[in-house]
Chains A and B, each alone.
Chain A
Amino acid sequence: AQTVTQSQPEMSVQEAETVTLSCTYDTSENNYYLFWYKQPPSRQMILVIRQEAYKQQNATENRFSVNFQKAAKSFSLKISDSQLGDTAMYFCAFMKQPISSGSARQLTFGSGTQLTVLP
């Protein structure tokens, strides 16, 4: 079974500053995907970024980037130029590589990090 650990229940950052959220995971799988989702007060789950384990290059989406360390089983999220709208609960999630197109794999989530961006 896979486990995902987010050791920072709460974090805060000043607007326009940079913040890094931590995530570690445990798995015996070699092929898998990692994700960051954000859940603002509306409770909508919004995909932030995705990383394939076989890719060495870290994923980037505008102000969001990850630091993926496969050997260390670490997957941190860096938010640059933080904005008030980034205030949300951030969940790290793991998904095993599907063995076929029909094997719809579940996401396993961490416990989340509540990020507050301060004006």
Chain B
Amino acid sequence: AAGVIQSPRHLIKEKRETATLKCYPIPRHDTVYWYQQGPGQDPQFLISFYEKMQSDKGSIPDRFSAQQFSDYHSELNMSSLELGDSALYFCASSLGSVNEQYFGPGTRLTVT
């Protein structure tokens, strides 16, 4: 079965640079979520989209923005990167908001 696809899988950036993470949900899934998992921590919710509209917002810094496109893929844009942004970024998708969230393999971002 098709899973959530995230690209790139690994990304190395320097401080103050920008990064764009992409997420392709499971086919027919209309809801996308973004989570950030720091080293040794549990995933923290950033933001979610349903049918291309922002649905819920968590602890997402103002330096970050995200959107969901007409083909349901989503992008997380991160600017003015800081060392503390180094983390594993997960995208998850679901069919509607009452069903299970299925996670992608994550993008490991390292800021040097």
Contacts and interface: CB of A to CB of B under 8 A. Distances in A.
A96 to B, nearest CB: 10
Interface of B: 31-33, 35, 41-45, 48-51, 53, 55-56, 58, 88, 90, 92, 94, 96-98, 100-103, 105-106
Given A103-B56, A110-B42, A45 B51 contact: no
Contacts of A50: 100
Interface residues of A, number: 26
Question: Interface SS of chain B: helix, strand, loop or mixed?
Answer: strand
A112 B42 contact: yes
Given A101-B50, A106-B56, 15 more contacts: A42-B105, A43-B88, A44-B103, A44-B106, A45-B103, A98-B98, A101-B97, A102-B55, A103-B50, A103-B55, A104-B50, A106-B33, A106-B58, A107-B45, A111-B42
B33 A104 contact: yes
Nearest to B47: A106
A103 B92 CA distance: 15
A107 to B, nearest CB: 6
Contact of A108 (B45, B55, B98, B102): B45
Given A43-B88, A111-B42, A104 B94 contact: yes
Contact of A104 (B48, B88, B105): B48
Contact of A102 (B33, B41, B97): B97
Given A45-B90, A101-B50, A106 B103 contact: no
B43 A101 contact: no
Contacts of B102: 47
A68 interface: no
A45 B105 CA distance: 7
Interface of A: 33, 35, 37, 42-47, 50, 91, 97-98, 100-112
Contacts of A102: 50-51, 53, 55, 97
A39 B10 CA distance: 18
A13 B48 CA distance: 37
A105 B32 CA distance: 10
